[in-house]
Amino acid sequence: MPQSSRGAARLLAATLRSEARPLAGVLAVLGASMVLRLSLPLLLGRFADDALAGESADALVRLAVAYVVVALVSEALGLGVVWGSVRLSWRAGNRLRERLAAHALRLEQAWHGRHSPGQLIERIDGDVEAMVVFFSGIAIEIAGNVALIAGMVIVATVIDPWSGLILAVTACVGAAVMIRLRVAAVSAREAERQVNAELYGDLEERLGGLEDLRANGAGGYAVHRLHHHSARSWRAARRASLHGDSAHAAAAMVFAVGTAGTLLAGVLLQQRGVITVGAVLSLYRYADMLRQPLQRIAEQLKEFQKAMAGARRASSLLATEPRITDGPLDGGALPASGHGRHRGLAVDFDDVTFAYDGGTAPALEAIDLHLAAGRHLGVIGRTGSGKTTLARLLLRLWDVDAGAVRVGGVDVRHLRVAALRRRVAIVTQDVDLFRAPLRDNLTLFGTHAAGDAELHDLLGRIGLGAWVASLPDGLDTVLEGGQGLSAGEGQLVAFARAFLADPDIVVLDEASSRLDPFTAERIASATRSLLAGRTAVVIAHRLETLAEVDEIAVLEDGRLVEHDDRARLAADDDSRYARLLRTAKHGLLPSDVGSAALAASGGSLGPRQTEEATA
């Protein structure tokens, strides 16, 4: 069995084990129902023999009533089986969903970069759904049918060994044919689901970027891609369906030959007086009953394939080990944060080199950068120079390839990830707002404990007081995923979140988009109060943001080319920072002076900077 199938089998076994008791109950009821169904053809044969022997009408009616009662009770037990199996498989399925979602959340940023949200939804919801559908009915039905076939072969053998043999051969040949076809069908089904996951992933991405697509006139390209994905999806579905259908047809053929053989054997034996007419009738019923379970198994093969393919992918997701793993140290290993003006933790980049997966050139190379506790560092550099990468390594969204990143003197890889992220907060240009009340957006659904008074006070301090007052339901107003908020307001909400987290180190990754002077001022003042008394790394595109930092670092193509006190750099006419300041004074404000001036002062030009520098 290939590795992935073994993983899938283990996953299914573990999931079912958690429902062992209800499962045992369901199987017991299923067994009882099968025994009753097996007895029906025997009652029928007995009825025929008694009628031929001239039994009284009363006795025949009693047999008929018994037949009806047994049939009804067997059906009722069947209903009980359905009820029990639906309950247990939904419970087990939901537990598996939780497990998969929790696991996906533990995987690092790089993994999420390679998997679109659509793919993830298909993995966690679609695949588990297939498994639940299978176990809530089909698996039990298959188990019941297998038991039924075995029971029929045994009873038929007792009546007449030859007929039993024919039934057994029919069942075995049918099963062998189906298993051979199953292998091809499972892989076709798996390919189909993979293609579909890509289709939905692509669709999700296009819909998410609808505004950009429209604005850039890329609609035609998007539709072309959709056609391409749809065509692949159709071809994969046709292939999977063909494989499934051939299994069905083969099972039907095997069954037809088997019934004919059993009937022939029965009739021959009856003519020689070996068995009664009633026994021939019973055997014929068994042969006839073989058809349904075999056919059901053939039909359900599709669902079985879907469930197996889902289980394989789920187990391979669970087998994906997070590359960012917890270190042994808890937050207690970090120096205690002080109070008021003396808070913060030192940040050290010790000779750090890092390349993204598949990146040939390192995004950061031999970065040696040290920042004492409570100091504020401004980071500048043209686009793509590695500023955001620096922030990601500090938060351990990626791990360094060489060297070490330390926080409060402790290598971040030695800390529990959650402990590190409790002490380091990042505010970026893209703020994720949830479709939830403002209160939950601020406290992240209660992660940061804060009462209403505290929230109002905080919002007032960062300049959102009037905005909250203008909301129809105040803190209870549901933010529609960020709609109705200006970019500046969104950014300020992110600041408020960072305040509530009360970190020791703050990383600001500033938006390069131009804000109006009023919003820029509000953000500057919020920044001032957020950074007060904490260690800060401020990644800036606008030089005004850096007016108050203690130190400046300049990155160029992933290398640290300048780092010193801001005042000293400003005073040194030859420093890159001083040249930037001079360019800024010469009328480039307000804009991306950072990049433009860097370019003007000797850095090579990216396309965006070319535009601005010549504007």
Ligand X SMILES: Nc1ncnc2c1ncn2[C@@H]1O[C@H](COP(=O)(O)OP(=O)(O)OP(=O)(O)O)[C@@H](O)[C@H]1O
Give residues in contact with ligand X (CB under 6 A).
113, 356, 359, 363, 381, 383-389
Write the CA distances from 602 to 143, 275, 285, 539, 594, integer angstroms.
75, 104, 92, 20, 13
Q: What DSSP line would sit under 429-474, residue for residue?
A: SS----SEEHHHHHHTTTTS---HHHHHHHHHHTT-HHHHHHSTTG
Q: Give the nearer residue to Mg ion in terms of CB position, either 75 or 357.
A: 357
Task: Give the phi and the psi of residue 512 in degrees, each rounded to 5.
Answer: -85, -10
For residue 9, which of 316, 310, 312 has the smallest C-alpha distance? 312
Q: Give the residue with the Cβ less far from ligand X, 148 or 371.
A: 371
Q: Among the candidate windows 236-244, 381-389, 588-596, 604-612, which touches Mg ion by CB under 5 A?
A: 381-389
Binders in 21-80 for Mg ion, by CB under 5 A: none
In whole angstroms, how close is the CB of 222 to Mg ion at the nearest point? 26
Smallest gap from residue 399 Cβ to ligand X (A)? 14
- 389 is a contact residue toward Mg ion (CB under 5 A): no
Per partner kind, with CB cut-offs from 5 to 8 A, the member of Mg ion, ligand X, none near residue 25 is none
Q: Which stretch binds Mg ion (CB under 5 A): 117-125, 189-197, 212-220, 383-391?
A: 383-391
Q: Which is nearer to Mg ion, 171 or 363 (CB)?
A: 363
**Distance in Å, CB of 555 to ligand X, minimum:** 7
- Give the span between the Cα atoms of 175 and 166, in whole angstroms: 14
- Number of Cβ within a 10 Å radius of residue 81: 25
Residue-wise DSSP of 139-199: HHHHHHHHHHHHHHHHHHHHH-HHHHHHHHHHHHHHHHHHHHHHHHHHHHHHHHHHHHHHH
Find out whether 348 and 405 touch, Cβ atoms under 8 Å: yes
* Residue of 505, 493, 598, 488 lying closest to 543 (CA atoms): 598
**Among ligand X, Mg ion, none, residue 230 binds (CB under 5-8 Å by kind):** none
Nearest to 51 by CA among 60, 64, 42: 60
CB 424 within 8 A of CB 394: yes
DSSP bridge pairs for 560: 555
Q: Which of ligand X, Mg ion, none lies near 474, with the C-beta cut-off 5 to 8 A by kind?
A: none
Residue 295 or 383: which CB sits closer to Mg ion?
A: 383
For 211-250, give one letter per residue: b (16+ CB within 10 A) or e: eebeeeeeeeebeebeeebeebbeebbebbeebbeebbeb
Which of ligand X, Mg ion, none does 356 bind, CB closer than 5 to 8 A by kind? ligand X
- Closest to Mg ion by CB, 270 or 388: 388
In this chain, which of 315, 337, 388, 491 binds Mg ion, going by CB under 5 A? 388
Supply the Cα-derived Rg of the chain in whole angstroms: 35
By a kind-dependent CB cut-off of 5 to 8 A, residue 149 interacts, out of Mg ion, ligand X, none, with none
By the 10 Å C-beta count (0-12 exposed, 13-18 middle, 19+ buried), 463 is classed as buried
Which of 465, 445, 134, 192 lies closest to 311 in space, CA to CA? 134
Shortest Å, Cβ 365 to Mg ion: 17
**Which residues have C-beta within 8 Å of that of residue 64, sequence separation ≥ 6?**
47
| Cβ distance to ligand X smaller for residue 328 or 358 | 358
Nearer to Mg ion, 260 or 561 (CB): 561
Shortest Å distance, C-beta 383 to ligand X: 3
C-beta of 368: minimal distance to ligand X in Å? Answer: 17
Residue 428 CB, nearest distance to Mg ion (Å)? 8
Residue 314: strand, helix, or coil: helix
Which partner in Mg ion, ligand X, none is near 89 (CB below 5 to 8 A by kind)?
A: none
Tell me which of Mg ion, ligand X, none is bound by residue 33, counting a contact when its beta carbon lies within the kind-specific cut-off of 5 to 8 angstroms. Answer: none
Strands 410-411 and 402-407: antiparallel
Window contacting Mg ion (CB under 5 A); options: 118-126, 223-231, 382-390, 540-548: 382-390
CB of 430 to ligand X, least distance (A): 11
Query: In whole angstroms, how close is the CB of 592 to ligand X at the nearest point?
Result: 9
Interface with Mg ion: number of residues (CB under 5 A): 1
Binding partner of residue 384 among Mg ion, ligand X, none, CB under 5 to 8 Å per kind?
ligand X
Rounded-to-integer distance, Cα 45 and Cα 47, Å: 5
* Contacted entry of ligand X, Mg ion, none for residue 359, CB cut-off 5 to 8 Å set by kind: ligand X
Q: Name which of ligand X, Mg ion, none residue 244 binds, using a CB cut-off of 5 to 8 Å depending on partner kind.
A: none
Picked from ligand X, Mg ion, none, the partner binding residue 261 (CB below 5 to 8 A depending on kind) is none
Q: Which is nearer to Mg ion, 525 or 604 (CB)?
A: 604
Q: Taking a C-beta distance cutoff of 8 angstroms, is the pair 192, 230 a contact?
A: no
* 75-83, 301-309, 385-393, 475-483 -> range binding Mg ion (CB under 5 A): 385-393
For Mg ion, the binding residues (CB under 5 A) are: 388
